[in-house]
Amino acid sequence: MFDLLLTIHERLEHPPGEAQVDFYSMEVSKDGHLMTYKQLVLSFPYSNAAFVFPTPAENQECFLEGLKRLFEQAGGVPERI
């Protein structure tokens, strides 16, 4: 007999104008050394668009400066983050 495995997934709803923001670390090999670079990512799940700004650290100053730059790249401020 085969067991029937039922998997249920909840559909996520992302209205237009809603964004998500978070820091992201990326490792890059440079001159034989592994370097870690920080980035702030602003994504819009409804349209699947994303904007990235490199930051030297994950702190409040970098977050606020990064948000300002990301809003400039995106051409405006999302309705909700």
Per-residue pLDDT of the chain in tens (81 residues, 90 and over written 9): 556 667 777 888 888 999 999 999 999 898 999 999 999 999 999 999 999 999 999 999 999 999 999 999 999 999 999
Rg (the chain; Cα; Å): 18
- Phi, psi angles (nearest 5°) of residue 47: -100, -5
Domain positions in the chain:
20-74
What pLDDT shows up at residue 2?
A: 56
Residue in the structure block whose two tokens are 């104008």:
17
Q: How far is 3 from 50, CA to CA, in rounded Å?
A: 41
